[in-house]
Structure 1
């Protein structure tokens, strides 16, 4: 089953890569590549994808750095974020799915739920009050973080070390990941909520990595292909972030694979607290007025 999942992901990514590289080479030959430095944007890609592999997420820090150093145009930023992150995230998924043991049924069910949620749930989620979702997610993540801290301090019973789910827990996980996949269409990241979900259901914290990376890996190529075909992205920045980002992924993945579970739990706690704080920060910002 895992072979079929990885084969499908590999074929989808290969199709994206062919379209991406062909578009880049045509622009290079015609002298249409953007001006910002390949090395400067590559450095951004290395740093943000390094931390993405640890579960921090790459979109927010990449946006901040690209804007801070004026390395790309705001108009092409959404496309650049998606195109540049696609291959690094797929590499993350391949690494963690192959090296971290996860029950095949649990993995496939949760990956499928996230993908279907992103496709079918987008229309429903788009009508929801984003502010209320941000507040609810911020509170929920903070509660999970507090519980995890108490467990680490031996005040509460510790979380589980299971590698798979069954029965009602699997059903709950599938429904939750479907919702998380749908919420991605509002720009709410899947990583930290997925970590919290996995931990709350008694799975090992390491299991969150193949699940969350795989969920995003199946969603991104299709969206990125559209940006490339429409030319709505920064070619040079996307290529630089991709190349150096993959290097950052390999280095960070080695750290995650070799970290003892106790330390990994603290890493997960930090990620969840950070994401919760970002949710509260977004909640406090005034809502953007639609034209």
Structure 2
């Protein structure tokens, strides 16, 4: 099986060092125990979702086995099984190799993962937030491994996040499947290029420039700015009513999948592009969530195969981001919104301004570092 030998086929120059069989068993047991605890918490959250949150979200209507709700439930099960299978295979394969970042501060990185999972669930995003926190705490020194770390670490929590919410929002399944497929294809193609990049300057300039434009898009789509709003050019829950809408969206999402390989989040550009194409902003969320989560899996394969990621960092973020997702769902959606009647729009508005600030910070930091590296290189060559 090719996956079993994935760690043997690294194309970079790093030396692969293996742990002993006893250490491997201890490692595997430890991480799977943490994942098992996370799954128990997720299962409880899903029960709360279907028994409490779903009826509230749908004006008292309880979950039933109608064709539409059955399709949504099947998608939920598929997302959960994908998360479980990926996580088991990931730990089974990668824990045989010694960490390439053994000196990481586990508490800081774990807290970073929790924060990223939390902010992603409430619609702010995780890539920019986690990148900003990793940079601010100096938890990552090699930026060429940043895209791989993000794609490997956040796929599982994104799948679980999608499972929690995909059944609560109605969206045309054909539109969902086509756009998710486009994102997955784009990410796989993009990861083939990104995983081969050895010069950190390239990652810095691409991430710096793209994140800057993502922050601009987030400002334009912010509800308090409202420059980009849903247009009336067709069905607000589907793109298949007019062929040109689904064709344009497919091309756009293929490109968005490619830039996600660089560690650029999908939320802001997806929201902007699909709003231009006439979809309701609530409908964008399950498309964005499913696309973002599923496209990380093929991307993660490429990065793991070439060992272009930080292993311990990815492990910690992977587990703790799951707890962040559940905490955000239970606290914000079930607790504050449903229980306390909190104004959802105001809460999200404040958090989105914070996310915009973080993304601008990361962008400027990346561009500044790129400039300093180029400047040092020129002085060296004189």
> What TM-score range do you get, normalising by the shorter chain?
0.7 to 0.9
| Post-superposition offset of 1:218 | 1.5
Other-structure match for 1:92:
161
Higher helix share: 1
Q: Does 2:110 align with 1:42?
A: yes
Q: Does 2:88 align with 1:18?
A: yes
| Post-superposition offset of 1:86 | 1.6
Counterpart contact for 1:141–1:272, Cα < 8 Å: no
Q: Deviations over 1:22-59 (max 9, x none)?
A: 246546xx899823343332111111221122333323
Task: Give unmatched runs, 5+ long, in structure 1.
Answer: none
Q: Deviations over 1:91-140 (max 9, x none)?
A: 122222222221111211211122223345779999xx969x74994697
TM-score when scaled to structure 2? 0.58
Counterpart contact for 1:114–1:215, Cα < 8 Å: yes
Counterpart contact for 1:19–1:225, Cα < 8 Å: no
Change (3 A) 1:35 1:190: same
| Post-superposition offset of 1:267 | 6.6
More divergent stretch after superposition (15-24 vs 214-223): 15-24
Select which of 61, 71, 79 maps to 2:148: 79
Task: Report the Cα distance in structure 1 between the residues aligned to 2:306 and 2:172, rounded to whole angstroms.
Answer: 39
Task: Report the Cα distance in structure 1 between the residues aligned to 2:363 and 2:145, rounded to whole angstroms.
Answer: 27
Q: Deviations over 1:207-248 (max 9, x none)?
A: 222111111112112222344445444333322222221111
Alignment of 1:1-150 (within 5 A): 9-10=79-80, 12-23=82-93, 26=96, 34-74=102-142, 76-120=145-189, 134=210, 137=213, 141=217, 144-145=220-221, 149=224
Q: Does 2:246 align with 1:170?
A: yes
Task: Report the Cα distance in structure 1 between the residues aligned to 2:96 and 2:311, rounded to whole angstroms.
Answer: 11
Other-structure match for 2:29:
none
User: Larger radius of gyration, structure 1 or 2?
Assistant: 2
Other-structure match for 1:211:
287
TM-score when scaled to structure 1? 0.72
Give 3-state SS (helix, strand or coil) of 2:102's partner: coil
Counterpart contact for 1:111–1:211, Cα < 8 Å: yes
Change (3 A) 1:247 1:25: same
How many equivalent pairs are there?
283
Q: Does 2:314 align with 1:238?
A: yes
Task: Report the Cα distance in structure 1 between the residues aligned to 2:270 and 2:328, rounded to whole angstroms.
Answer: 19
Counterpart contact for 1:206–1:264, Cα < 8 Å: no
Higher relative contact order (CA closer than 8 Å, sequence separation 6+):
1
**What root-mean-square deviation, in Å, do the aligned CA atoms of Structure 1 and Structure 2 show?**
4.5
Other-structure match for 2:270:
194
Other-structure match for 1:221:
297
